[in-house]
Structure 1
């Protein structure tokens, strides 16, 4: 199956940060493929960095082991649709929000957008499951993490 990139003018309009969070990120030279485009696998890495920066800024960190029990989670699903290539190193924004919040899970939706917000480069979803470190079984979010996740929750 071949995916045809959309032109920037055909991209879905980027919503203002009225929901979710927009995390400015940097594409580095080593994120690029031989054609000077962000390599497909690097989108997952950049998304991981964006989510990590967001959560670390709110006191949830994995530095020196999990400093918070909600930091112990697994990614149960990751999907992405590529819309228009990111060319070269430089700024890009990752807009993410929570589409659905369960007792032990959170379903994120995300978009990679140009720094000016005019182009959607990729969009997708990622499912997190909070795990108990002792049993490796799903366990409920703590109230502090649930509060942050609810801030990201898509209205309605």
Structure 2
């Protein structure tokens, strides 16, 4: 049996009744919320969050510059799913995340997409470099570069 090692991180997640639309499937807008919560939890566990209404580090101050999602097969009903995310590229001031919403067993891809974050300077709201700490953590999410044979 071949073991496939996925880049990034898979966060277990629970779909609740209020995530569903009138047809009993996850509402399309909830997928972005699922990713946001998974990313927030992951970064919070590494010291990058909000405490007492204030950011714990400057790296928490970022904006989403781009977001795209493709829906593959609906999540039908409540229960466990997985939110798989990784960093495709890490720039000086930006990070490109890729993500997939998976069935609990990881066998079904319900949706997949891309999100671009840009770190902002709180005074100017212009792009600012990620800290060394954030870069170190983000590197653990980087997908390996696969060289194609010539």
* TM-score in same-fold range (> 0.5): yes
1:73-105, Cα deviation, whole Å (9 max, x unpaired): 000011000000001111110110001110000
1:49 to 18, 37, 58: 37
**Structure 1 residue 147: Cα displacement:** 0.4
Q: Distance in 2 between matches of 1:112 and 1:130?
A: 25
2:13 aligned to 25, 42, 52, which one? Answer: 25
Equivalences for 1:5-154 in 2 at 5 Å? Answer: 16-63=4-51, 64-154=53-143
Unpaired segments ≥5 residues, structure 2: 146-150
**CA displacement 1:11-36 (0-9 Å, x = unmatched):** xxxx9454100011111111100011
| Secondary structure of residue in 1 paired with 2:140 | helix
**Which runs of 5 or more residues in structure 1 are unaligned?**
1-14
Q: Secondary structure at the match of 1:91?
A: strand
RMSD of Structure 2 on Structure 1 (CA): 1.1
The count of aligned residue pairs is: 142
1:36-79 deviations in whole A, cap 9, x for unaligned?
Answer: 10000010011100101111111111232111100000000110
4+ residue runs of structure 1 moved beyond 2 angstroms?
Answer: 15-18
Which SS does the other structure have where 1:155 is aligned? coil
